[in-house]
Amino acid sequence: MLIRRWPIKRRPTSRWFGGTLRRKLTFIYSALFGLIILMVAGAVYISIKINAERSVERELQSSVNAFERLWSLSAAHMESNADVLAADFGFREAVATEDIETIASAISNAQGRLEGQTVGVAFPDGRFVSADGTLSQLPDTAYQALLEQDRPSGVVRVDNKHFQSVAVPIRAPVLVGWAFFFSELDSVRMAELEKMSAIQIKAEIRNGDHASTDHDATFRTTEAIGASRQIKSFTGDEAVSLIITYPLDAAMAPYRPMMLAILLFSLFGAALLIFSGRLVARSVTRPIFALDKAVQALASGNRQPVDVPSDDEFGRLADSFNTMLGDLEAREASIVQMGREDSETGLANRRAMDDDLRTRMTMDGDASVRVVVIRVKRFRSVRAAIGHGAAAQALAVLARRISEFADGAAPYRISATDIGLILDAQNPFVRPEGLRRLIAACAQPAMIGDASVDLLLCSGIAEPEAGRGAPIGPVDQAVVAADFAESRQEPVSVFDLAEYGNPALTLSLMSEMLAAMTDGGLSLHYQPKFSLSENQISGFEALIRWEHPVRGRVFPDSFIPVAEETGHIRQLTEWVVTRAIEDQQTLRAKGFDLPISVNVSGRQMNDESFALWAIGKVKSSGAKLCFEITETAVINDPEKALRIINLFRSTGIAISIDDYGAGLSSLSYLKQIPANELKIDKSFILTLTEGRSDELMIKSTIDLAHAMGMSVVAEGVETEQVMALLRDMGADAAQGYHISRPKPLADMLELLGAAMRKRETA
Amino acid sequence: MLRPLRLFAAAATFLCLLTGPAFAEKVTFVVSDGAGKPVKDAVVMVAAGAGAPAVKFSWPLEMKQENLQFSPYVLIAPVGSDVKFPNLDKVRHHVYSFSKGNKFELKLYGKDESRSVKLEKAGIAAIGCNIHDTMVAYIRVVDTPYAAKTDADGNATLDLPADAKAATVWHPDALPAEVKVTLPAKRTAPVPVSLKVKSHAH
């Protein structure tokens, strides 16, 4: 089965998303979950932070408000104390009369009564009396505040300490001074304020625009949240603020366990997800793995059903795959079936025969099998006459007859003309006589429709065991045997490995032959034809010689048939013709104008392009040539061959019938071929002296040839005696060792020269 | 006997008017605050020269307590005179002054009771009541007969000797409390005085 692999361009996979589906799934799930966890944790953190900060801000705000209330309470308290002091008649008298000692004692008395408060008195001119009786001048700003405001109160700073202070006028009854009350805003005061808050705040008073003049401002630094509230200063033109801060750390502290819990849950969840993700991914990918494996197995030709027991999409996919696999098997079987059948006749075809034979030979061994091929001769003419369909029907009829006669052996149509059989070695029809009987029984005409079709049969037998060394298989061996039978006009032929030769060798032989044409390996020798009437050389036959550098002399019998089979004969013939014309010109130059005969294969007699080439060559050189052909030259296509022969004759190329009497010498062909010359085969001449019958036959052949207008050349003349006999019988010329062996052109020149000198002396 | 005495007296007076300070003339001061509002109770004083008459005023030298207020708000009294403090209220008062030189204290006394105090030193006596802080009044103790306080229209008229050069104008609620005014050569027109007065306790 063939699976075509289209190259699929895959994207290069990255490290994270690459690899198996399982890893991808696990990674994507985990990454998504991680992201969600991160987002949730972030959202929780932010909301907690905002919440914490808000509640801290609220707390700070309320602390500031509390401080403000506390502040005004304290101010009111101090004011009322001051009022009490300022209203005292004795004190007023002391102030009015600037009785410093009395004033000081009254002040320290009041201080003793009011813990944590400092008391002082200012005179209208700005002098200030403190509890110890010392006099000092009030700072200008404070003095101005006294002059401008009836009862100033607020924060004053003395020696970098902050005091809450109030001043109330002392009238007796006119203004005689002011009673001052101070309360230091020391760490103790601040600590009181800090303690009032639910959270651990830090309170302080600062000068200057520290935070914001906005009344309700809260602010944030990197490590703390704070709230500030501007406090009225005593002088009214100083910026003093209460700053309350709360460390962010402390704000977040209560939420820390919760954050930790969220973090732990997230980590636990992520771990759980990765674990379960892997499980899910594995369960998802396992059937995919199985399918992947099965598909890969299918691609390499193994059909493995997939086992996915789940009833989800994967299960269905696996079922579909298995079903598809079954369909595929059935379809493939039908394709194989189609591949095994000859569509014209419905018979099993060559492929089927090869398969079956292989099976038989592996099962039973080569020795037990024989292959038989039965051929319908001239099937092409039959087919041309009755049409393809009818011809195929005729073949089918023949196959049926063969099968019936051969006890139901299965026939194969292995080519257009051939029916093949695989038979047991013991089968009687695998022996030539049995097969001959089979052919004879099946050869009666077949009725196709109304027409009767003649079936001329021949056959070949191959023994796989005997033909084991052959480069072709047993079926082809049987086909070759049938070829032999057909060409030999025999009904049966058995494949003979030796006879078949080795085509592997022939190919190299041919290439070597072509090389030899140019490198001098091939040469022409000449054998003279001796005119019996004129007693002198009347022509030459050109004979090819091949001196192979390795094989030594290669005889024409062993390479000319190969050249004919492989189609190299045309080149060889052209080479011979060209060389012969050249040599003839050499002879002419020496004064010997003699015809040269060249052997031309029967195939060339059907080759019009060769004929045209040869005619052109002869015309252009003015050569005197004779083409020696055998009777077989006209067997295949007599009309065409005769036309070409006539063409040669009309252009002055003589035709000689070679080897007459050796093969199938047919008088009808002899009558048809318009030859100039008949050469009697040397097998008759060599035995000429032994009996009368040959003598008679030769004599009558000579007479027949003369009667048909041909001159007669006798080959194989080896003795003077035979030559004399032939002369008596009326033969025109003799050729043979008695006259000369085939020799190079130089020897021929010498021979001619010698004969000429002899004649001149005679 | 009386008649010649009286006549002598009249003659003496006439003489007086003719000789020395005999050229007395009336000078009117108009006291106003910066905005042109008349200032009431401003005291205009001109220092007494040689030959000035005895310091004596036409108004009673008394500081009444009536409706929990002192009345008048400002009283001009000669140095060394006795000033009476009659209580016309139903409640009792405890009148005092811590002013330098004129310090006194009239401990609680009731309705229709009167006390008097001799004011020994020229200057200002700020009078208060220890019980009622809102009760405030001033006595300007002077050593000159040429003193008067402005009426509701801010006018005060003095009979001044011709050689009087300058006047002092004082008001308890003014800032500064007193100003000096140079008298013009021609005294037919009223003398304008400007005093910046805070709104006082009343």
Chain A positions in Cβ-Cβ contact with residue B135 (cut-off 8 Å):
173
Substitution target in A85, A174, A175, A176 with the highest count of B β-carbons within 10 Å is: A174
Note whether A348 and A489 are same-domain residues.
yes
Chain A positions in Cβ-Cβ contact with residue B201 (cut-off 8 Å):
173
- A760's enclosing H/E stretch is helix A745-761
A451-463 mean pLDDT: 88
Q: Is A173 within 8 Å of B103 when comparing Cβ atoms?
A: no
Contact in structure between A163 and A183 (CB atoms under 8 Å): yes
Distance from CA of A131 to the nearest CA of B (A): 23
Note whether A590 and A482 are same-domain residues.
no
Distance from CA of B64 to the nearest CA of A (A): 16
Tokens describing residue B114:
């009167």
Distance from CA of A154 to the nearest CA of B (A): 25
Which residue of chain B has the CA closest to A92? B98
Distance CA A370, CA A361 (A): 10
Pairs across A and B, CB distance < 8 A: 31
Residue B180 DSSP SS3: strand
pLDDT band at B149 (very low <50, low <70, confident <90, very high): very high
Q: Which residue has the tokens 């052997």?
A: A599
Chain A positions in Cβ-Cβ contact with residue B98 (cut-off 8 Å):
92-93, 96-97, 172, 176
pLDDT at A30 over 90: no
Chain B positions in Cβ-Cβ contact with residue A97 (cut-off 8 Å):
98, 100, 103
Q: Is B172 within 8 Å of A87 when comparing Cβ atoms?
A: no
- Candidate from A46-55, A99-108, B64-73, B114-123 with smallest mean pLDDT: A46-55
Chain A positions in Cβ-Cβ contact with residue B123 (cut-off 8 Å):
none
β-pair partners for A245: A202, A226
Tokens describing residue A322:
């298995």
Tokens describing residue A162:
């902050």
Chain B positions in Cβ-Cβ contact with residue A93 (cut-off 8 Å):
96, 98
Q: Is A172 within 8 Å of B98 when comparing Cβ atoms?
A: yes
Name the average pLDDT for chain A: 84
Distance CA A735, CA A732 (A): 11
* Parallel/antiparallel/unpaired status of strands B191-194 and B25-32: parallel
Which residue of chain A has the CA closest to B132? A173
What torsion do the CA atoms of A311, A316, A321, A326 make, to the nearest 10 degrees? 80
Polymer length of chain A = 762
Q: Which DSSP letter does residue A108 get? A: H
Name which of B100, B103, B136 is nearest A174 (Cβ-Cβ). Answer: B136
pLDDT value at position B22?
Answer: 43
B124-132 mean pLDDT: 91
Note whether A353 and A329 are same-domain residues.
no
Distance CA B77, CA A215 (A): 57
Percentage of chain A modeled with pLDDT above 90: 25
Interface list for chain B against chain A, based on CB atoms closer than 8 Å? 96, 98-100, 103, 126-130, 133, 135-136, 172, 201
Contact in structure between B181 and B167 (CB atoms under 8 Å): yes
Note whether A310 and A360 are same-domain residues.
no
Note whether A227 and A305 are same-domain residues.
no
Which residue of chain A has the CA closest to B127? A173
pLDDT value at position B124?
Answer: 92
Domain assignment present for A522: no
- Would you call A711 exposed, middle or buried from its count of C-beta atoms within 10 A (0-12, 13-18, 19+)? buried
Q: Is A174 within 8 Å of B103 when comparing Cβ atoms?
A: no
Which residue of chain A has the CA closest to B133? A173
Interface list for chain A against chain B, based on CB atoms closer than 8 Å? 87, 89, 92-93, 96-97, 171-174, 176
A234-250 mean pLDDT: 83
Q: Is A87 within 8 Å of B133 when comparing Cβ atoms?
A: yes
Note whether A65 and A31 are same-domain residues.
yes
Q: Regarding predicted confidence, which is higher, A724 or B188?
A: A724
Domain assignment present for A544: no
Chain B positions in Cβ-Cβ contact with residue A172 (cut-off 8 Å):
96, 98, 126, 128
pLDDT value at position B115?
Answer: 87
A720-735 mean pLDDT: 92
Residue B167 DSSP SS3: strand
β-pair partners for A122: A128, A178
Distance from CA of B128 to the nearest CA of A (A): 5
Note whether A355 and A488 are same-domain residues.
yes
Distance from CA of B173 to the nearest CA of A (A): 10
Distance from CA of A87 to the nearest CA of B (A): 9
Q: Is B130 within 8 Å of A96 when comparing Cβ atoms?
A: no
The residue out of A302, A334, A366 marking a domain boundary is A334
Name which of A96, A173, A176 is nearest B133 (Cβ-Cβ). Answer: A173
A218-239 mean pLDDT: 82
pLDDT band at A322 (very low <50, low <70, confident <90, very high): confident
Which residue of chain A has the CA closest to B135? A173
Q: Is A173 within 8 Å of B127 when comparing Cβ atoms?
A: yes
A337-351 mean pLDDT: 85
A485-490 mean pLDDT: 78
Note whether A84 and A213 are same-domain residues.
yes
Which residue of chain B has the CA closest to A171? B133
Name which of B99, B100, B133 is nearest A171 (Cβ-Cβ). Answer: B133
Q: Which residue has the tokens 């010698």?
A: A754
Note whether A392 and A329 are same-domain residues.
no
Domain assignment present for A113: yes
pLDDT value at position A734?
Answer: 94
Name the average pLDDT for chain B: 84
User: Which of A10, A7, A29 lies closest to A18 in space, CA to CA?
Assistant: A10
Distance from CA of B2 to the nearest CA of A (A): 50
pLDDT value at position A37?
Answer: 79
Question: Angle at Cα A26 formed by Cα A25 and Cα A30, nearest 5°?
Answer: 115
Q: Regarding predicted confidence, which is higher, A528 or A515?
A: A528
A663-689 mean pLDDT: 82
Cβ of A619: how many Cβ atoms within 10 Å? 12
pLDDT at B148 over 60: yes
pLDDT value at position A501?
Answer: 61
pLDDT value at position A177?
Answer: 92
pLDDT value at position B19?
Answer: 45
Contact in structure between A292 and A21 (CB atoms under 8 Å): no
Q: Which DSSP letter does residue A306 get? A: -
Contact in structure between B133 and A176 (CB atoms under 8 Å): no
Distance from CA of A72 to the nearest CA of B (A): 26
Which residue of chain B has the CA closest to A176? B98
Q: Is the peptide bond before B176 cis (omega within 30 degrees of 0)?
A: yes
Percentage of chain A modeled with pLDDT above 70: 94
Report the domain count for chain A: 4
Q: Is B133 within 8 Å of A92 when comparing Cβ atoms?
A: no
Chain B positions in Cβ-Cβ contact with residue A96 (cut-off 8 Å):
98-99
pLDDT band at A483 (very low <50, low <70, confident <90, very high): confident
pLDDT band at A692 (very low <50, low <70, confident <90, very high): low
Note whether A91 and A113 are same-domain residues.
yes
Domain assignment present for A230: yes
Contact in structure between A168 and A146 (CB atoms under 8 Å): no
Which residue of chain A has the CA closest to B201? A174
Distance CA B101, CA B111 (A): 28
Q: Regarding predicted confidence, which is higher, B7 or A696?
A: A696
Domain assignment present for A278: no
User: Which of A472, A483, A479, A469 lies closest to A421 in space, CA to CA?
Assistant: A479
pLDDT at B84 over 90: yes
User: Terminal CA-to-CA distance of chain B, rounded, Å?
Assistant: 53
Chain B positions in Cβ-Cβ contact with residue A150 (cut-off 8 Å):
none
pLDDT value at position A733?
Answer: 95
Fold of B24-194: Immunoglobulin-like (2.60.40)
Substitution target in B70, B98, B202 with the highest count of A β-carbons within 10 Å is: B98
Contact in structure between A317 and A343 (CB atoms under 8 Å): no
Structural domain range at position A601: 569-761
Q: Is A97 within 8 Å of B128 when comparing Cβ atoms?
A: no
Which residue of chain A has the CA closest to B137? A173
A189-218 mean pLDDT: 73
Provide the residue ranges of all domains of chain B, joining segments of one domain with +: 24-194
Q: Regarding predicted confidence, which is higher, B157 or A499?
A: B157
pLDDT value at position B42?
Answer: 93
Note whether A368 and A346 are same-domain residues.
yes
Distance from CA of A172 to the nearest CA of B (A): 7
| pLDDT tens readout for residues A586-645 | 999 988 999 999 999 888 888 889 999 999 999 999 999 999 998 777 777 888 888 999
Q: Is A173 within 8 Å of B172 when comparing Cβ atoms?
A: no
Q: Is A173 within 8 Å of B135 when comparing Cβ atoms?
A: yes
Q: Is B128 within 8 Å of A171 when comparing Cβ atoms?
A: yes
pLDDT value at position B125?
Answer: 92
pLDDT at A743 over 60: yes
| pLDDT tens readout for residues A537-564 | 999 999 999 988 776 777 887 788 788 8
Chain B positions in Cβ-Cβ contact with residue A169 (cut-off 8 Å):
none
Q: Is B98 within 8 Å of A87 when comparing Cβ atoms?
A: no
A4-8 mean pLDDT: 52
pLDDT value at position B23?
Answer: 60
Note whether A482 and A579 are same-domain residues.
no
Chain A positions in Cβ-Cβ contact with residue B198 (cut-off 8 Å):
none
Contact in structure between B32 and B194 (CB atoms under 8 Å): yes
